[in-house]
Amino acid sequence: MESRITTAARVAEIAPFHVMEVQTAARALEAAGRSVVHMEIGEPDFPTPAPVIAAAQRAIAAGDIYYTSALGLPALREAIARHYADHYGVAVPAERVIVTAGSSAALLLVLALIVNRDDRILLADPGYPCNRHFVRVLEGDPVGVPVGADTQYQLTADLVAANWNSATRGALIASPSNPTGTVVPHDEMRRIAAAVASRNGHLIVDEIYLGLTYGTRPRSVLEFAADAFVISSFSKYFNMTGWRLGWVVAPERHVRDLEKLAQNLYISPAAPSQYAALACFDPATLQILETRRRAFQARRDYLVPALRALGFGIPVMPTGGFFVYADCSAFSHDSEQFCRDVLQQAGVAITPGLDFGHYRANEHVRFAYTIAQDKLEDGVARLSRYLGH
Ligand SMILES: Cc1ncc(COP(=O)(O)O)c(C=O)c1O
């Protein structure tokens, strides 16, 4: 008999990650003996740097396994603040840095701080899918603004102005973006910050991929917008996805409220992960990470022209992260089916645009270059054969 015990309606609105379904299908093929080139996975293939693992082992051996302050270890907050000064040339007081359980928790805390029921938050479509779900869980209204190559797949000040109304509380931008790898030009970010501020709104900038920027100097919005919420993470640049550690830099007046939320939602970020992360800023670790950043850049420099030569549309060169968002309309107007076919017939796993929104999602797929160069080359060769080149 069907249960009459109900769950909250909001759950029905949370879409699963299609990429997980791709991954499950890929694993099933592998279990059946087929080889699959994984270009769907959104995390670095590099292991956590050895100095970071050693720091975690020392912390656990020393018994540093207790709850920390909800705001994070003071030494880690200081280290993150120094990182902004050393790498991005911006002075950020450590008091404004809040260490969180991944940037996922940082996004949730900030949105919980600002979103009331039915409040609108402007997001780029395509964009990182969890953001709209966070807003929905809070009973707000995530507004996906269609963006294309003409605006580097990013919101602009004009789009913010055109989509703002009295129920809009803020705009959330990821730069570099997942899935497009594109960056909001610095001057445009300045105009966006002004557009949001003049409407008494909140600007949230997800800079989780800022450390992985290629060919241009990475610049934080904190250079000029002390009032922005900046989200970041140890997951991607620091190769620590499973350690669940991120941070938010918040305007000082909001730190106390964010602390209350963190205390109640998860008490504190994981202690061993925080002790480990202290080693992220050692010169030896940063050197390892810089070598890996260059490896990602070399992969991008190979993959983008190779995909273009196959007939995928990539009108804007991605300059950050590890994703390429490609127009597949030369081959299919049903990107979900296209991904299924490519997996089954070519043995290449890629993610359909549907994971990132609605706007022309059926004509786009995401490639992740989180695999070694020789595997990328294998993937491209398989696609080439499949597409009849
Ligand atoms: C743009 C963006 N923001 C946030 C996250 C969440 O990452 P984490 O919670 O591991 O820091 C991701 C993960 O893929 C992402 O792509």
Q: What is the pLDDT of residue 1?
A: 63
Number of H helices, E strands in the chain: 12, 12
* C-beta 180 within 6 A of ligand 1: no
DSSP 344: I
Q: What is the pLDDT of residue 206?
A: 98
pLDDT, tens digit, 9 for 90 and up, residues 46-55: 999 999 999 9
Tokens of 380: 């491209």
* C-beta 178 within 6 A of ligand 1: yes
Q: What is the pLDDT of residue 184?
A: 97
Output b/e per residue, 257-274; b: 16+ Cβ within 10 A.
ebbebbeeebebbbbbbb
Q: Is the peptide bond before 44 cis (omega within 30 degrees of 0)?
A: no
Q: What is the pLDDT of residue 209?
A: 98
Residue nearest to atom 14 of ligand 1 (CA): 42
* Residue 58: Cβ within 10 Å count: 14
Taking each helix axis as running N to C, give the angle between helix 50-61 and helix 283-310, from 0 to 180 degrees, rounded to the nearest 10.
130
User: What pTM value is reported for the model?
Assistant: 0.96
CA distances from 384 to 20, 209, 307, 371 (A): 25, 30, 9, 18
Expressed in angstroms and rounded, the spacing between residue 290 Cα and the centre of ligand 1 is 20
Q: What is the pLDDT of residue 14?
A: 86
Residue nearest to atom 13 of ligand 1 (CA): 42
Q: What is the pLDDT of residue 18?
A: 82
pLDDT, tens digit, 9 for 90 and up, residues 358-367: 999 999 999 9
H or E segment to which residue 203 belongs: strand 202-206
Max Cα distance, the chain (Å): 63
Q: What is the pLDDT of residue 236?
A: 98
CA distances from 366 to 5, 66, 133, 148, 387 (A): 39, 40, 20, 15, 17
Q: What is the pLDDT of residue 380?
A: 98
Tell which atom from ligand 1 comes closest to the C-alpha of 105: 9
Q: What is the pLDDT of residue 29?
A: 95
Low-confidence residues of the chain: pLDDT under 70: 1
